[in-house]
Amino acid sequence: MLFELVQGVRTEDEKTKVLDALSNLSYVEMTKDLWQKAEEPSASVKKKGLNLPLSDIFIAALAIEHNLQIFTLDKHFEQIPTVKIYKF
């Protein structure tokens, strides 16, 4: 997730603000087991004829494994039935 947020910044000031905002959040590690489990959300969307970005698949795998909601405007996550999306 950190990569997704940082790659979207336009200036060093924005980058600093994003990193500061995230500094109080817990960091969830992508383990070898999770790399393998990432195949599950990938397969579920491929059955629908969709191909999601790998970064979204990895974020979904982390959220599913740790029972977390995803705070996003990205519609890709709605295509993965086991992902919980934070509604705002």
Query: What pLDDT is stored for residue 11 in this prediction?
Result: 94
C-alpha–C-alpha distance, residues 72 and 13, integer Å: 22
For 2-85, CATH number out of 3.40.50.300, 3.30.420.40, 3.30.413.10, 3.40.50.1010 equals: 3.40.50.1010
Query: What pLDDT is stored for residue 17 in this prediction?
Result: 92
Q: What is the pTM of this model?
A: 0.79
Q: Which long-range contacts (CB under 8 A, 24 or more apart) does 71-79 make?
A: 76/52, 79/45, 79/48, 79/50, 79/52
Query: What pLDDT is stored for residue 22 in this prediction?
Result: 87
Domain boundaries, the chain: 2-85
Query: What pLDDT is stored for residue 62 in this prediction?
Result: 94
- Encode pLDDT of 16-25 as tens digits: 998 998 898 8
- Encode pLDDT of 45-67 as tens digits: 999 999 999 989 999 999 999 99
Cβ atoms 51, 76 nearer than 8 A? no
At residue 53, the 3 state secondary structure works out as coil
